[in-house]
Chain A
Amino acid sequence: MLPIVSITLFLPLLGALLIMALRKTSTQAIHAIGIITSGLTLLGSLWMWSRGVNETGFAQLEELDWMPSIGAAYRVGVDGISLPLVLLTTLLFFLTLIYSAKVKERPQAFVVLMLLLETAAIGTFTALDAILFYVFFEVSLVSMYFMIAGWGHEDRQRAALMFFIYTLLGSLPLLLAILGLYLGSEPHTFDMRVWINNPPLDGLAAMLALIAMLFTFAVKTPVFPFHTWLPAAHVQAPAAGSVILAGVMLKFGTYGLVRFALQMTPDAFRDAGIVILIFGVVAALYGAFAALAQSDIKRLIAYTSVNHMGYVIVGVAIAALALDPAIRATALDGSVLQMVSHGLVTGALFFLVGMLQDRAHTREMDQFGGLLKITPILGWSFVLAAFASLGLPGLAHFPAEFQIFLVTLQVEPAAVIVILGIVITAGLYLRAIGKVFLGEPNEKWLAMSDLNTREVLTLAPLLILIIVVGIAPALVLDMIHKTTAALQF
């Protein structure tokens, strides 16, 4: 059997090395290599999809000795929770590289960083060894730091530094938890499957490990009050960086929440379930209210990410609290689907804002008006993505959020107050659409050009998938449900 997971994982790295090896290459050739590499990676992940996942445990396992003396090995594989995220990752990177073909400033370094980041992201989702996971998790930070610092906007140095130090501070407690789990497992191993099947810690040790992990993933997700790095990083990052940051890297937090916190310290997670639920509800509502207060359209979308990730946390917390396995599975189904939907929708929105900024060099909503008439394709695309983001039925977020709210109502009815978030996001998106795209066209922008082919190619797959997932969520849900239905914790 072809080791397709490893091939998919290391293809982008190979592409990056190839670009580094080529001296004096034209900008076009560099972008072409980037697009082709990420395209092949996308095909690789589709191949993984066609192989499918197992009823229990992980599928498509690939293992290699690495540091046997301390029980660390190269172990990769997927299940119904990680495979959808891998697909999302490869798709978003492919589209991002197409979109970034316009980058003329040091394209070599840009594409290399992008491909390095892609390997790190796929690695984070497929790693089944805690050290390997941590390595990929951190490499993604380094690449994103250089991405923001090198190609960001006005205040990029400060934002990049803040992002790096904040998220490193965030991820080090995870290292502590990993060491704790390692020392608790007998014989000592870093095999995540062993930790999931036999949680190595209990009692106080498990609770401390859980707190350390929650801190890490709360910073990454991000959850109020650990979210302050997010608006700064998003606003300063280049559009491509924002798409990856929101579409892929925020999922590290929620994926870790499920994979590590929920699966490796299940009893402690259940004990702390109410607290985590409250954090989720607060994050969702805070994100919505904070978004309402923004005039910068990129900050607005950044804050709605806090809101949408809040729903994921609510779903995971409900899964821990629920006693009925069916409800538990539904809650996790909703959470994982929400991660995928958010990647598609927010990815599209950040692309659109990037395209708008390329044209207008501003992101202030008050500066615009009536763009729907001047740039209809851009305008209607934004309207579609915004409607998806506010949870309109028939679009990607609806089936995910619906499932989360349903189980919340069954398990902790009081927490359903979180549904207020939908009302607020609806209001703020309608306001944004009104200000930017409706009304009288602003004189200043009459000459604004509509989307070109490259931009349409970038957006179309996302918009189509937003509709497809909204109408036929079973396409993704079947895969997710296969794993969540069998989870024992």
Chain B
Amino acid sequence: MADDLALLIPEIIVLLTIVFALVAEMLRLPRIALAVSVTGLLLATGMTLPLLGADTSVFGGTYRIDTLSVWAKLILLPATALSILLARAELGGSDREGTVYVLICLVTLGSLVLASAGDTMLLVLGVLLSGLGSFALVAYPRDDAATEAAMKFFVFGSVTGAIMIFGLSYWFGGSGSTLLSELSLLDTKPVIAAVGLIAVIVGLGYKAALVPFHFWAPDAYEGAPVSIAAYMSVVPKIGAIFAFAQVVRDLPMDTHWPLVIAVVSVLTMTYGYLAALAQNNVVRLLAYSSIAQAGYFLLGIVAVGANPLAFVSIIVFAAAYAAMNLGAFAVLMRVGRTLDAFSGIGRRKVVMGIAMVVFLLSLAGIPPLAGFVGKFLLFGAAMDAGFTWLTVIAILNSVLSLAVYLRIVVPMYQQPDDATAPAQTAAPKPEPLITLVWIVAFVFTLGIGLAAQPILGQIS
């Protein structure tokens, strides 16, 4: 038991962080809450490093400490810290500011549970833990848009969560165990395996915003504060994707689950980008883009079990995605929510403009940026698993994605029309926290693109 706890030090630190931050908030000391949560998250990241290379589990196999789980911490904890800085820049000074940090940490803890799940009950726990906090975060502004968004989000979450629990009960009935590692017992009961699989796709698909369980995402992102949208498009999504990988690695192959997930992947990528093409609100555009990006993650999921490249590709792409998506949202916070706001920004703010172009081109998968390395590995994993057709579709979608992201890039370098944008000429006041976030994201987007070897070497 004591050994088990030693392996859980990062999670325990996050939990203590939540407690202390909550105490600070109750004492009306939001700055302390901010300091505690950021420090705690970074400390937890540091304490994860000794666990690199671990491949074990605790609590009787229900909670896994493996490559996925460790890398989930290394990616999600710093991403959470950056999101908290964004939230501070946006919501700092508002009433109940400290609760935001607490809730964000709580959702992260739920996402970590998802990424480490070795048991169906922990899947449920992770979905609930990350879900409940998210509802509150979306509703934070307490205006009409936020309330409506949170309501949609909540109703969707309740229904999909119920379906998931219902379906998982079939797995329990079929295998006599809630452990994911016992799922191989289902190889003689394909129907039961399939029912449970569909339930998992519904439950985790909702979390990861996969088509057709994505309807809440654009509304929730638009209604929520931008920093919360940035956070939700990264941390819970990656947690759910990693949970997917944890589930399917034990699933018997004869349920044809890779094919099912491949179909979901195609729907998600294609629908996400097609819908993004029609958006004029940049938050909604990035919301649909993050839906589509989830489809790319699934290329790695279909290859789980077929080759070792699958985990590597999912992890590298997760790190890349976290960096570039947070970066893009950070710049968006600085510039504004509409495409018009981006008009000519690349000429006025040269460095930030370059950074935004890098984030967007990285999202589109242009080398030598992080998104390219991630997608390249995902394509390789899927092709090696015999899913060349899926790779072809993903590649075609990459072209579509370029059209999407260029919708932001093109106005950035347009000649400013003197008549239409007089209000834009005044320089916005400096926001050091946001600047810090996009600079960090920029460094990682370039760094993962040019030097992915440290990650690759650690995993394989």
> What 0/1 readout, one digit per residue, does chain A (133-150) give for beta carbons within 8 Å of chain B?
011001101100010011
Chain B residues with CB under 8 A of A131: 367, 376
The answer to whether A172 touches B399 (Cβ under 8 A) is yes
Using CB atoms, name the residue of chain A closest to B449.
Answer: A135
Complex contact B399–A161 (CB within 8 A): no
Q: Which of B399, B410, B414 has a CB less than 8 Å from the CB of A168?
A: B399
The answer to whether B9 has its CB under 8 Å from any CB of chain A is no
- Indicate if the CB atoms of A135 and B410 lie closer than 8 Å: no
A175 CB contact (under 8 Å) in B395, B413, B452, B453: B395
B411 CB, nearest partner CB in chain A, Å: 10
**Does A176 reach chain B (CB closer than 8 Å)?**
yes
Stretch of B30-38, B181-189, B377-385 with 4 or more beta carbons under 8 angstroms from chain A: B377-385
Verify if A66 is at the interface (C-beta below 8 Å from B). yes
Task: Give Cα distance in the complex from A215 to B91, angstroms.
Answer: 51
B379 in contact with A175 (CB, 8 Å): yes
Given contacts A69-B453, A138-B367, A176-B391, contact A165 B380 (CB under 8 A): no
A290 to B102, CA, bound (A): 67
**Contact pick for B413, options A67, A69, A134, A150, CB 8 Å:** A150
Q: Contact between A70 and B456 (Cβ–Cβ < 8 Å)?
A: yes
Of the 9-residue stretches A177-185, A277-285, A405-413, A433-441, which lies at the interface with chain B? A177-185
Q: Which residues of A contact B460 (CB under 8 A)?
A: 69
Q: How far is the CA of A284 from the CA of B424 in the complex (A)?
A: 51
Q: By the criterion CB–CB under 8 Å, are B383 and A68 in contact?
A: no
Neighbour of A179 across the interface among B368, B380, B406, CB < 8 A = B380
Chain B minimum-CB-distance residue to A173: B395
1/0 per residue, CB under 8 A from A, across B359-402: the answer is 00100001110001000110110011000100110011011001
Q: A67-B452, A69-B457, A175-B376 are in contact. Are A149 and B410 (CB under 8 A)?
A: yes
A158-203 interface (Cβ within 8 A of B): 161, 164-165, 168-169, 172-173, 175-176, 179-180, 182-183
A157 CB within 8 Å of chain B: yes
- Of all chain A residues, which has the CB nearest B414? A157
Q: Is the CB of B456 within 8 A of A142?
A: no
Q: How far is the CA of A68 from the CA of B410 in the complex (A)?
A: 37
| A150-B413, A169-B399, A180-B383 known; A138-B366 Cβ under 8 A | yes
Given A67-B453, A149-B410, A161-B410, decide whether A135 and B383 contact each other with a Cβ distance below 8 A.
Answer: no
CB-defined contacts of B361 to chain A, threshold 8 Å: 142
Asked if A135 and B399 sit within 8 Å, CB to CB, the answer is no
- Complex interface: chain B residues within 8 A of A141 (CB): 366
For chain B, residues 329 to 344, give those with C-beta under 8 angstroms from any C-beta of chain A: none
Q: Are B392 and A168 in contact (CB under 8 A)?
A: no
Candidate in B377, B396, B403, B453 with the most chain A CB atoms within 10 angstroms: B453
Q: Would you give the shortest CB distance from B423 to chain A, in whole angstroms?
A: 23
Task: Chain A residues near B392: list those with CB within 8 A.
Answer: 176
Contact B395 A165, beta carbon cutoff 8 Å: no
Contact present for B456 and A172 (CB under 8 Å): no
Q: Interface residues of B toward A: which range?
A: 20 to 34
Residues in B whose Cβ lies below 8 Å from that of A67 = 452-453, 456
Give Cα A172 to B393, complex, Å: 11
Distance in Å: Cβ of B143 to nearest Cβ of chain A: 37
Of the residues B379, B384, B396, B456, contact of A69 by C-beta under 8 Å:
B456
Q: Is the Cβ of B367 less than 8 Å from the Cβ of A165?
A: no
* A interface residues, tally (CB under 8 Å): 30
Contact B391 A179 (CB under 8 A): yes
Contact with A along B422-460 (1 / 0, CB 8 A): 000000000000000000000000000000110011011
Are B377 and A70 within 8 A (Cβ)? yes
Contact pattern, A 265-281, Cβ under 8 Å of B = 1, otherwise 0? 00000000000000000
Complex: A142 Cα to B360 Cα, angstroms: 12
B contact residues around A135 at 8 Å (CB):
367-368, 372
Nearest-neighbour CB distance to chain B for A339, whole angstroms, equals 24
- Say yes or no: B395 contacts A176, CB within 8 Å: yes
Given the complex of chains A and B, what is the CA–CA distance between A150 and B361 in angstroms?
Answer: 17
**What's the minimum C-beta distance from B412 to chain A, rounded to whole angstroms?**
10
Distance (Å) between the CB of B317 and the closest chain A CB?
Answer: 14
Query: A138-B367, A165-B399, A175-B395 in contact; A149/B379 too (CB < 8 A)?
Result: no
Inter-chain CA distance A146–B357, complex, in Å, is 11
- Which residues on the A side are within 8 Å of B457 (C-beta)? 68-69
Q: Knowing that A142-B366, A149-B410, A176-B392 are A-B contacts, what are 11 other residue pairs whose CB atoms are under 8 Å apart, sorted by A's residue number?
A: A68-B457, A70-B380, A138-B367, A139-B368, A157-B410, A161-B406, A165-B406, A172-B395, A172-B398, A176-B391, A179-B383
Binding site for A on B (CB under 8 A): 312, 361, 366-368, 372, 376-377, 379-380, 383-384, 388, 391-392, 395-396, 398-399, 402-403, 406, 410, 413-414, 452-453, 456-457, 459-460
Q: Can you name 29 A-B residue pairings with CB atoms under 8 Å?
A: A65-B453, A66-B453, A67-B452, A68-B453, A69-B459, A70-B456, A131-B376, A134-B367, A135-B367, A139-B367, A141-B366, A146-B413, A149-B413, A150-B413, A161-B406, A161-B410, A165-B406, A168-B366, A168-B398, A169-B399, A172-B395, A172-B396, A172-B398, A172-B399, A175-B379, A176-B391, A176-B392, A179-B376, A182-B380
Q: Which 6 A-B pairs have the closest CB atoms?
A: A69-B456, A135-B367, A135-B368, A172-B395, A169-B399, A67-B453
